Amino acid sequence: MRLIVACSGGADSLALLHLIQQTRHEIIVAHVNFHLRKEAEKESEILAAYCQDKQLRFIRYDAYYKGGNMEAWARTERYHFLAKLSKKYDCQYVLIAHHQDDLLETYLMQKERRLQAETYGLNYKLVYEDVIFLRPLLKFRKEDILYYCQQYHLPYSTDSSNEDERYHRNRIRKEVNKLSFPERKKLLDEIYVRNEKAKEIREFIKDYQGKMLKESLFFKTGLEKEIIRLWCPLSLSESHLEEALRQLKSKEKISIPLAQDYYLCREYGYIYCFRDTKHYEIKIDKSNLKYFEISSGKPLYLSESDFPLILRNAREGDNIQLAFGHKKLNRYFIDSKIYTCQRKSWPVLVNKNDEVIFVQGIGADIKHQAGTNGYHLDFETFKLKINKYHS
């Protein structure tokens, strides 16, 4: 099996590399020099010399910082390089040297920011750009890794920037270093419990993602806030969630704004989250009318004075003239128990005078149901074509 080992030259990655050397796998050592420290070039040379001595293929990538969030930039550069390399050399896995201290640091930062994460701490396995990355050292403490490097006289480098307390992670790292064994175990147990609960929630609502949940079931789960978090792909504060849940419980029918056009709804015995549809308008003139036209079925008759037609979502105040008089679309939605999320994107066809001449679910207005001349659209085909605008 061919593997890529991501190696900075520090103790963690060199210990990982040395461990993999004891196997029969073919190894490619991948190294990124970010040129952020004066000693970075020397460290790259030491690692390259080690690989040459051990007859390991060594591939180096030079990245140059140009501004923005430096940590995010470095992570993206590194992972993109490793994924690209994996595909080029048809490697099954990329191994990275995150260890138990890294896991605890990540968790403490998540906890400090009160983040609702898909994974607490670090996953053993992750997929990036369709490439599988593995973290084989997650059960090992930093002190275990340093001891291993000393035992085998591995020429690892020490990153001086790890002592720079201007970086938040470095301050958290010092807290982790001070943890006693019982304190570590308590945190690891906490991470395990939270990940298991998150997994339980994901399993519970996986069939409801983008759908609706019966309110009787929703309020029995005891996981209401967690479900809302997973429904809404935005970061919501604890206080925001508490208030949304309070309003949800207080009324049988309500639409609650969350953030960035997302809404939480309770109506007709269901609870769900949706994103408000922006107004859309699609012009239909005689040149593209044939896109909707077929030769059979009940037709919608149009005259020259109707063009150009506009396909758009329903708007406040829309009504359609039927045989028994005008019908407000809002009343139709209420009578038919159409959900709020559907009303926002419900497609209607209007003529050039903005008169509603066709509504999905109702049909054509009285003026366009009769006649033998002019252009025509097939009802069923037209409904099928516009269905993609109706979520």
Looking at residue 350, its pLDDT comes to: 93
Q: Which of 157-166, 272-281, 288-297, 328-337 has the lowest mean pLDDT?
A: 288-297
The predicted pLDDT at position 276 comes to: 87
Residues 340-389 pLDDT 10s = 988 888 889 999 999 999 888 888 888 887 654 455 555 444 444 444 44
What pLDDT is stored for residue 13 in this prediction? 96
Q: Where exactly does CATH 3.40.50.620 map onto the chain? A: 2-177
Give Cα 15 distance to the centre of its chain: 34
**Banded model confidence at residue 155, pLDDT cuts 50, 70, 90:** very high
Query: 170: pLDDT confidence band, cut at 50, 70 and 90?
Result: confident
Asked if 184 and 107 touch (Cβ cutoff 8 Å), the reply is no
Question: What is the pLDDT of the chain when averaged over all its residues?
Answer: 86
pLDDT per residue as tens digits for the range 20-56: 999 989 999 999 999 998 899 999 999 999 999 999 9
Average the pLDDT over each of 163-167, 200-204, 251-255, 258-262 and give the range with the smallest value.
Answer: 163-167
Superfamily of domain 2-177: HUPs (3.40.50.620)
